């Protein structure tokens, strides 16, 4: 029996889904595949697992819940445990690098990728009685594949007399892709629509679409806060950096004003009253304010509002600050604060309210305890304002939002199917996404959505829906995983939306080059070894090769580092970057990196040697409890380094378990640097994994007429690409400019750049 607290019980009673518990459970008991569609916030994620648990589904086997986002897996497992009064030994989570699942786990939240990996060793998912695929409308690659696979697994389990229930949960979007797809489900599954009490949301379009949506957002929030009645504000922008910038701006503007206002007599009275009451909410706010002014130093007191540390930002994973000449657009807007700050101040001078704004950031890389802040009521007398990326669109429901400010933008990682070039671009989101965002304002009362773009732009430029992820990224790892599950004809697989043939062909081609598939397209023993590793096939191959010459510890370290995004930063992480400071930090870091790269063979390992050294040095710093500071000083993204350390352990364990000869391998925190020979061999290993990613220096005599020599100093030709690609300005190989290099990735900002470069010798 579940014993819930009074408070929790009351919150639950307000959720629309609770009224339908009985009919939902009847439908699930009588049908094997059920789709539950309901507006965000109706209670699907938090309540469905509890319904199933109480109906006895977790008695003999476990309940699995998949989430496309790691944030959601972690945060939801905690919330459900809390609601049910169970520990996280019983309601647990599992994501790629970590988890708290135990043998007592009854409800397991996990990322969809993790469940797909589990399928490889247990195709029938026999430890589960139910699989809930949450957020199916997000159309993440792994969820899509899981739907396809589970459409076959459910009948198989039934045949075995050990039935498995499949519950697909989705916002009320595009259900047709799942339910009227005969290749997927011959009989359309039962659909339950959860009625939700959605209050009307008035949508306001901007007359004009401004060039700078961040400034516009700031203005809009200021107006809402100073002119409109009580109610939380939720702001959608695209990335962590933007979130942090806006939050910082808001805190500066409104807390400052509050302090000034407090000097007024009325406020004085209020303050003394509060102090008398022993209430120090106010002082704490002042304290935060002081913290802001002092910049990076520590805070003095942490009392009534303990969680938030204003100066402690998690580090954006999406910084693009590329070569010397291109500090423009984004960075510049971010650092032109000074005049703009003045503007905000003077406009505010006239405002009536002295109410502070409680501004909080929200994005997936934000540490968990800070993410949880958004669910807590703001301090007495403050208005809540959450600045978020699109994680608040459907994965997390923020309570008591009355105003939504929507930039209409989202950031996507684009991938060119032919050249493999990737790049982050910010562009318009879809109409469906914009409507989801607007809907966030009407959960608890009628609300307003301010769109920072014109209705013409919305009508003419916004797509109806964003394309499913499977059509937008390389499918190599999926292709191999599916082959290893003995799915032979991948073109015939029941995808909810199929990737295009070109994508499948290039994936197959690359896997053949790697040696993971033979000429006929069958998985080779190497392919099987590769697929065991929780990393991309090319890195799997590097691992599989490295039992030689005692290279494995280095390869593990390197693969771990290469598998985590944005390890080496280009600009310091402060909310309002100052160009001068940024430049000097960059110079300092570049010097350190050059030193880390060393000389001789190790220098030829290039950026990879920098990574190896960085991880080694970080390990040492961590052993002294000094990791955070070390990372800040040396331009490493702290969270990335933490992930690398976990992945290193995980890969080591994975090798211990899968390669009997290597059963005694361990992570050596004091790994000595590779010898000259080892460094040379490591380059060969890199080439083995990334042989399709080699570039050759463009020589002056190859330049066409009119092409300026200086502009091509760092230019290479790669992958038969027409356009040149450049060595990044942070690359340690810029000094030596080897003729041939192997690179990890090409990405595009204002030019095409290569990341993770090492020198190779021509054969």
Tell me which of 85, 158, 294, 375 binds ligand ADP, using CB under 6 A.
375
Cβ within 8 Å of residue 484, ≥6 positions away:
120, 523, 527, 528, 531
| Minimum separation from the CB atom of position 134 to Mg ion (A) | 6
DSSP 583-621: HHHHHHHHHHHHHHH-SHHHHHTTHHHHHHHHHHHHHHH
| Minimum separation from the CB atom of position 649 to Mg ion (A) | 31
The kind and range of the H/E element at 696 are strand 694-697
DSSP state of 746: E
Q: What is the 3-state secondary structure (H, E, C) of 218-279?
A: HHHHHHHHHHCCCCEEEEECCCHHHHHHHHHHHHHHHHHHHHHHHCCHHHHHHHHHHHHCCC
Contact 476, 507 (CB under 8 A): yes
DSSP state of 396: S
Tell me which of 24, 35, 37, 43 binds ligand ADP, using CB under 6 A.
43
DSSP state of 523: B
21/274 with CB nearer ligand ADP? 21
45 sits near ligand ADP (criterion: CB under 6 A) = yes
194/233 with CB nearer Mg ion? 194
> Of the ranges 41-49, 297-305, 467-475, 719-727, which one interacts with Mg ion (CB under 5 A)?
41-49
264/377 with CB nearer ligand ADP? 377
> Of the ranges 43-51, 141-149, 320-328, 526-534, which one interacts with ligand ADP (CB under 6 A)?
43-51
74/558 with CB nearer Mg ion? 74
Q: How far is CA 309 from the centre of its chain?
A: 22
> Of the ranges 37-45, 256-264, 380-388, 610-618, which one interacts with ligand ADP (CB under 6 A)?
37-45
Tell me which of 20, 37, 46, 511 binds ligand ADP, using CB under 6 A.
46
| Minimum separation from the CB atom of position 63 to Mg ion (A) | 15
397/506 with CB nearer ligand ADP? 397
Q: Which of residues 65-94 bind ligand ADP (CB under 6 A)?
A: 75, 79
375 binds, among Mg ion, ligand ADP, none (CB under 5 to 8 A by kind): ligand ADP
DSSP 426-493: EEE--HHHHHHHHHGGGSSS-EEEEESS-HHHHHHH--SSPPPGGGSS--HHHHHHHHHTT---GGGS
399 sits near ligand ADP (criterion: CB under 6 A) = yes
Pairing of strands 107-111, 62-67: parallel
* Spatial distance between the Cα atoms of 692 and 722, rounded to a whole number of angstroms: 16
21/286 with CB nearer Mg ion? 21
Tell me which of 28, 41, 52, 746 binds ligand ADP, using CB under 6 A.
41
| Minimum separation from the CB atom of position 140 to ligand ADP (A) | 16
Contact 591, 753 (CB under 8 A): no
41/598 with CB nearer Mg ion? 41
* Spatial distance between the Cα atoms of 716 and 706, rounded to a whole number of angstroms: 18
| Minimum separation from the CB atom of position 36 to ligand ADP (A) | 9
76/603 with CB nearer Mg ion? 76
Q: Which of residues 45-64 bind Mg ion (CB under 5 A)?
A: 45
Pairing of strands 740-742, 33-38: unpaired
Closest CA relative to residue 89, chosen from 73, 74, 105: 105
- x/- mask, ligand ADP, residues 333-372, rule CB under 6 A, reads ---------------------------------------x
Task: Show the tokens assigned to 211.
Answer: 């060039």
The kind and range of the H/E element at 631 are helix 627-634
Residue nearest to Mg ion (CB): 45
Tell me which of 42, 140, 390, 744 binds ligand ADP, using CB under 6 A.
42
Interface residues toward ligand ADP, by CB under 6 A: 15, 38, 40-47, 75, 79, 372, 375, 397, 399
Interface residues toward Mg ion, by CB under 5 A: 44-45
């Amino acid at each position: 029996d579940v014993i819930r607290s009074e408070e929790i019980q009351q919150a639950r009673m307000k959720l629309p889904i609770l009224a339908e518990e009985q009919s939902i459970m009847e439908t699930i008991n009588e049908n094997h595949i059920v789709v539950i569609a309901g507006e965000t916030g109706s209670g699907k994620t938090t309540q469905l697992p509890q319904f199933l648990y109480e109906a006895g589904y977790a008695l003999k086997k476990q309940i699995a819940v998949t989430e496309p986002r790691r944030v959601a897996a972690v945060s939801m497992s905690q919330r459900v445990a809390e609601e049910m009064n169970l520990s996280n030994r019983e309601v647990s989570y599992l994501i790629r690098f970590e988890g708290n699942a135990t043998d007592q786990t009854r409800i397991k939240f996990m990322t969809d990728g993790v469940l797909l990996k589990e399928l490889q060793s247990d195709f029938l998912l026999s430890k589960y009685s139910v699989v809930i695929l949450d957020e199916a409308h997000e159309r993440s690659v792994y969820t899509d594949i899981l739907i396809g696979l589970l459409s076959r697994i459910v009948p198989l389990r039934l045949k075995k007399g050990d039935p498995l229930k499949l519950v697909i949960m989705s916002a009320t979007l595009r259900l047709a892709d799942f339910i009227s797809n005969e290749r997927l489900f011959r009989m359309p599954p039962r659909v339950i629509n959860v009625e939700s009490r959605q209050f009307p949301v008035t949508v306001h379009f901007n007359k004009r679409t401004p060039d700078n949506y961040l400034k516009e957002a700031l203005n809009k929030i200021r107006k809402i806060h100073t002119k409109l009645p009580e109610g939380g504000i939720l702001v959608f922008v695209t990335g962590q950096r933007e979130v942090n910038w806006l939050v910082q701006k808001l805190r500066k503007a409104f807390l400052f004003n509050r302090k000034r206002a407090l000097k007024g007599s009325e406020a004085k009275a209020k303050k003394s009253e509060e102090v008398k009451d022993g209430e120090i909410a106010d002082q704490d706010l002042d304290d935060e304010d002081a913290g802001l002014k002092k910049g990076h130093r520590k805070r003095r007191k942490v009392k009534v509002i303990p969680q938030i540390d204003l100066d402690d930002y998690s580090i954006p994973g999406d910084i693009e600050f590329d070569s010397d000449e291109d500090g423009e657009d984004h960075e510049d807007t971010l650092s032109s604060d000074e005049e703009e700050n003045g503007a905000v101040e003077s406009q505010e001078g006239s405002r009536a309210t002295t109410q502070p704004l409680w501004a909080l950031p929200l994005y997936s890389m934000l540490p968990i305890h800070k993410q949880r802040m958004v669910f807590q009521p703001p301090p007495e007398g403050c208005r809540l304002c959450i600045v978020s990326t699109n994680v608040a669109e459907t994965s997390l429901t923020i309570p008591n939002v009355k105003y939504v400010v929507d930039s209409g933008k989202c950031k996507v990682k684009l991938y060119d199917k032919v050249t493999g070039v990737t790049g982050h671009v910010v562009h318009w989101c879809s109409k469906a996404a914009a409507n989801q965002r607007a809907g966030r304002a009407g959960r608890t009362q009628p609300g307003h959505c301010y769109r920072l773009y014109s209705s013409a732009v919305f009508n003419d430029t916004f797509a109806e829906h964003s394309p499913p992820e499977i059509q937008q990224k390389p499918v190599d790892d999926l292709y191999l995983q599916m082959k290893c599950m003995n799915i032979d004809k991948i073109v015939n697989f029941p995808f909810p939306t199929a990737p295009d043939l070109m994508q499948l062909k290039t994936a197959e081609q690359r896997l053949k080059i790697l040696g993971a598939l033979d000429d006929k397209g069958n998985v080779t023993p190497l392919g099987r070894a590769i697929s065991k590793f929780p990393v991309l096939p090319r890195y799997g191959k590097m691992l599989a090769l490295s039992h030689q010459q005692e290279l494995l510890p280095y390869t593990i370290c390197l693969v771990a580092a290469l598998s985590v995004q944005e390890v080496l930063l280009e600009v310091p992480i402060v909310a309002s970057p100052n160009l001068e400071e940024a430049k000097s930090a960059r110079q300092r870091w570049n010097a350190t990196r050059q030193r880390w790269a060393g000389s001789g063979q190790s220098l030829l390992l290039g950026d990879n040697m920098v990574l190896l050294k960085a991880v080694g040095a970080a390990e040492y710093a961590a052993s002294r409890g000094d990791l955070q500071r070390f990372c800040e000083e040396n331009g490493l993204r702290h969270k990335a380094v933490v992930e690398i350390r976990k992945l290193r352990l995980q890969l080591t364990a994975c090798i211990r378990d899968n390669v009997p000869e290597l059963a005694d391998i361990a992570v050596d925190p004091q790994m000595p640097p590779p010898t000259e020979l080892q460094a040379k061999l490591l380059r060969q290993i890199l080439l083995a994994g990334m042989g399709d990613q080699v570039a050759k220096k463009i020589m002056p005599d190859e330049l066409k007429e009119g092409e300026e020599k200086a502009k091509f100093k760092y230019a290479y030709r790669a992958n038969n690409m027409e356009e040149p690609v450049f060595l990044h300005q942070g690359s340690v190989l810029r000094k030596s400019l080897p003729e041939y290099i192997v690179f990890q990735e090409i990405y595009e900002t204002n030019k095409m750049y290569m990341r993770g470069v090492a020198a190779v010798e021509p054969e």
